Structures are given as C-alpha cells and as structure tokens.
Structure 1
Amino acid sequence: MAPLVALLTGSLLARSVGLVGVDALDGWWPALRVGLALMFLVTGLAHFARARRQGLVAMVPPALPNPALLVTVTGVLELAGAAGLLLPATARPAAACLALLMLLMFPANYSAARRRLQLGGRPVTPLAVRLPLQVLFVAAALAVAVG
C-alpha cells in the first residue's frame, strides 16, 4: 500500500502547493508527476533496502535468470524514471517508460501471489487487490505520458 499512499499523498500535496501560488505545480498534470515520482522513489529505494530486497528477489519468477540483477536493474530504472518525471522536458517519455516497466514487472507480482510469498514478513498483495492497483498506477503514468 505504500506506493498508493505515496502516489495519492504526493499528488495531493503538490496540487495544494500549486493552489497556494507555486506556478510549477499549478495543475493536476504537474501534481500527478510529483506523486508518481514519489511513488517510484519509494518503490525504487525498496529494491536496495536490505529488509525488502530479499523479498523482491524472491518475487522474480523462477524461470527468469539472475533475479538479484533484475531487481537491481528495475530499481535503478524506477529511480531514474522518478527523476525524469520531475523534469517537464523528460516527464512524458519517463512516464511512458515507467508504464511499460510496470507492465513488464507485473509477472513478478503475479508469480509472487500465486506462490503465496512473504514480503517483509507479510504476504504479498493478493491479485484481487494488486491488479486494480496496477491498473491505477499504469493509468496514472499514461495520463502523465499523454498530458
């Protein structure tokens, strides 16, 4: 749920700052960019946090090679995408790339849910919850990508 909280909180706070006079955040598009950037900062950093990394490595479908490397690469891509979202010139392509990345990473979430893995001592998000969240996250990224 941390990604959802980061997306919603970041977007609402950024929009509030825009409403009180910060022109760069005056509108839902820039506010959503900030919310997505915060979400990907949170999820990207999780790829490197000792407590979360092992669980993320375990989530990688067994058929894929070198799960630790895949977790590192996707973490770097998420952090780079978060930075790209904050720059208006790169926000659209960054958002499009992040939407694609989320689609490519969804099999790991599916695999983890089917295998009933634990992440940080808690079961991974069930598919009935994860799928609508994933649709929301991809839709938010696509909304930024198309403006």
Structure 2
Amino acid sequence: MDLRANITHLTPVARGLVGAYVVSGVIHLVKPQVFEGIVPKQLPRRRELVYVSGVAELACAAGMLTPRTREVAGVASAALLVAVFPANVEMARQAHSRITRRGSTPQREVQRALSVARLPLQWPLIRSSVAIARGGRG
C-alpha cells in the first residue's frame, strides 16, 4: 500500500479528519480521563465508551487511508461524528457552566469559545465523511 498516494488522494479536510482521528484516538486510549467528563451522565460505563470511541476513531482513520475500506470507513466516520456530538455539546455546556459558577477568566472564555465553535464544525466533517463513503476524496 502506497500510504503517501492514499493520503494525497484525500482533500485537505479529509486529511485533517484522518489526522485528528489518529491524535484523538491515541489520547482516548492513553488518557481516557480527558474525555470521561464530557460523556453525558445518562450513559453508563463512561470509561469503556471513551475506549470504544478511541478505537473507532483509529479504525476510521485507517479505513479512510485504504481504498478498499474507504467506503465503509466514510460511513462509520459520519456515524461516529453524529454519535459523539452529545459529548461535544456537553463540553460546551460545561465550559459555559464554569464561567457561570466561577466567573469569567480569559482561559475560561477561550475554552467556551472553542467548544462552542467546534459544534458547527461537525457538519463539514460529516459531509467529508459521506463524500469519502460515496467514493469521493472527502
């Protein structure tokens, strides 16, 4: 497999998604506590869910790099992005709540701004995943 050709075949958004999945997937497995706090409280076995989502991210990244598995990986990636959206909403909610409870600081304001800005960014990532699934470059 020519990894360089497989990566350059993807659009910059898709390459960014693959890179983000690799970095995030590794962090999910090495430091799961980073993500446990944003798993919605209604869900049981939060640590296990963090591990599962980390493995899923790594699998999606690998699958998108391989032409034979790109279609399935694109569908899985879109589904994963939808599945983890509640955790992203929870992260934004918690960032806002910290400011409400403890007051505003530059760091808290930046955290809130980034977590809120991240929410609409899911849409182009989902669209890129669907494009990859349809045989496109993402």
TM bucket, shorter chain: 0.7 to 0.9
Q: Report how many aligned residue pairs link the two structures.
A: 121
Determine the C-alpha separation between the residues in 2 that align with 1:101 and 1:45. Answer: 16
Pair 1:143-2:131 in alignment:
yes
Moved over 6 A (4+): none
Identity of aligned residues (%): 35
The normalised TM-score by structure 1 is: 0.69
Flag structure 1 segments of 5+ consecutive residues without an equivalent: 1-13
Equivalent in 57, 80, 96 of residue 78 of structure 1: 57
The normalised TM-score by structure 2 is: 0.74
Any residues of structure 2 matched to 1:1-147 within 5 Å, and which? Answer: 27-28=9-10, 33-50=14-31, 53-116=32-95, 123=111, 125-127=114-116, 129-146=117-134, 147=136
| SS of 1:115 mapped into structure 2 | helix
| SS of 1:90 mapped into structure 2 | helix
Flag structure 2 segments of 5+ consecutive residues without an equivalent: 99-106
Determine the C-alpha separation between the residues in 1 that align with 2:34 and 2:10. Answer: 34
Q: Shift of the alpha carbon at 1:56? A: 0.5
Query: Computing the radius of gyration over CA atoms, which structure comes out larger, 1 or 2?
Result: 2
Q: Shift of the alpha carbon at 1:115? A: 2.1
| SS of 2:41 mapped into structure 1 | coil
Letter in 2 for 1:105: V
**Paired residues of 1:85 and 1:95 also in contact (CA < 8 A):** yes
| SS of 2:42 mapped into structure 1 | coil
Q: Report which structure shows greater RCO (CA 8 Å, sep ≥6).
A: 2
